[in-house]
Amino acid sequence: MRHFPAFLDLRSRAVLLLGEGEAIESKAALLRGAGATLRRSARFEPEALDGCAAAFGAGAPEADLRALSELAQARGVPVNIVDRPELCSFITPAILDRDPVTIGISTGGTAPVLARLLRQRIEAVLPPGLSRLGALAERFKETARRALPDTAARRRFWEAVLRGPAASLALEGREEEAARSVEAALAGAEMRSPGFVHLVGAGPGAADLLTLRALRVLGEADVVVHDRLVPEEVLDLARRDARRIFVGKARARHCVPQDQINELLVELAREGLQVVRLKGGDPFVFGRGGEEAEALAAAGIPYAVVPGVTAALACAASAGIALTHRDCAQALVLATGHTRDGEVGLDFAALARPGHTLAIYMGVSTLARVRDGLLAAGLPPATPAALVENGSRPDQRVLRGTLPEVAAAAPGWTQGGPALLLVGEAVGRGGLEGSDPAGSGQEGGSPQRGGPERSNLG
């Protein structure tokens, strides 16, 4: 974040406008709308800055603009010289004004036209009556504060109101009916927020592969309990004031044991908090979400599951591998290279059947045993395989070859990231390579293909 966003209260405060022309008049119109007292000057005099809360300059001689910038910054007065970021201590965003709702969009001064285009796009999807909805919330702000002193309970109340009938009535211009609906909701509101846990799949790591529901509950969470596979760009989608608790674990190295994670979720919910348990991939696909759901149910804690894009789907798609194909793969099998005690416990005879694509999670350290088990069960040695590391992320790497080749090369190839093994005839089908895990839209995808991103064996 290049600039810290802030909204200044300029009501009845002096603001200096230096210069003439369209640009400075545009600033003057915005400042009048904010209730500022304008102090106009065509040339810069130091005393004009006395008592000012901010200063703007445009359309004045260069020496005057520089003098204003230097003196204002020396005095700690916010200054903006239009289209001269090197002379500014702050920049003005593209503004969408639906008083009392104000939205500012900034590109850090690098692309003002882009900011305006984004403002237009946002404005097109916001309801025209948004200002009435903001006014409704403002009308009942203090009443709700007194009736619901518990912060979490008050937050839940407003989330329900602003998604419910009162909001619809306000947007339609039926303000008094909306007010009565808010009053009725307040009368029936719980003094303390009931706790709730969402078991949320964060997907393979790319933030834009989150589901819309996952995005919503992240925005509502009081606390986020997360694993090591959840990247910062996903965590940053949570509420800014949401508490984060890291409980990550890697193979054989547990930051917090699973039973303690279960107890933590129960404890947080009993405090009346809205909890998001954020897990890489899908919580019910080798994510121990089932164990957590059982613990919550046993404790009487209400919960819901938000599915995520599991690694098999994400890795295959980003590596250009079709998991099923009517000519050679009529079934997809998800399996784990580890069981609870850390040993391989797979039914290799079932997995080696023809017409299957195998997706084996967490199997890098046991890859040799998986290979031996499949070959002993009758899987042809020439069966194609691929090991996808950091699937769907910009640093994705793919190792391709036959299963024996991949198993032999993997120990020296892998860099320790999460990896998925894909095995089957469909894995070797041509014509699908060159997908773009980063979504860049480039021909052939992100830089890789033949370099460190991909190794083709044999």
Pairing of strands 54-57, 79-81: parallel
For every residue of 387-401, DSSP letters joined together read: EEESTTSTT-EEEEE
Query: CA nearest 258: which of 283, 235, 289?
Result: 289
- Phi first, then psi: give them for residue 125, nearest 5 degrees: -100, -10
289-298 helix and 258-270 helix, angle to the nearest 10 degrees: 50
CA atoms within 13 A on the CB side of 20: 3
Whole-angstrom distance, CA of residue 409 vs CA of residue 264: 41
Distance set, CA 3 to CA 70, 85, 107, 234 (Å): 19, 12, 9, 21
64, 97, 150, 249: the active-site residue: 249
- The angle subtended at Cα 352 by Cα 348 and Cα 357, nearest 5°, is 115
Catalytic residue status for 227? yes
3-class state of residue 421 by DSSP:
strand
Tokens standing for residue 46? 């130091």
Whole-angstrom distance, CA of residue 384 vs CA of residue 401: 6
Tokens standing for residue 270? 């009993």
Tokens standing for residue 430? 């041509």
Catalytic residue status for 249? yes
Whole-angstrom distance, CA of residue 189 vs CA of residue 213: 24
Whole-angstrom distance, CA of residue 364 vs CA of residue 411: 8
Distance set, CA 146 to CA 153, 187, 222 (Å): 12, 12, 21
222, 227, 279, 282: the active-site residue: 227
Q: Under a CB-based contact definition with an 8 Å cutoff, are residues 100 and 34 in contact?
A: no
Contacting residues for 350 by C-beta, under 8 A, at least 6 apart: none
Whole-angstrom distance, CA of residue 208 vs CA of residue 439: 9
175-187 helix and 151-161 helix, angle to the nearest 10 degrees: 140
What DSSP state is assigned to residue 310? -
Query: CA nearest 204: which of 407, 395, 433, 446?
Result: 395
Helices marked H in 21-109 — which ranges? Answer: 22-33, 62-75
Whole-angstrom distance, CA of residue 277 vs CA of residue 198: 6
Catalytic residues, by residue number, are 227, 249
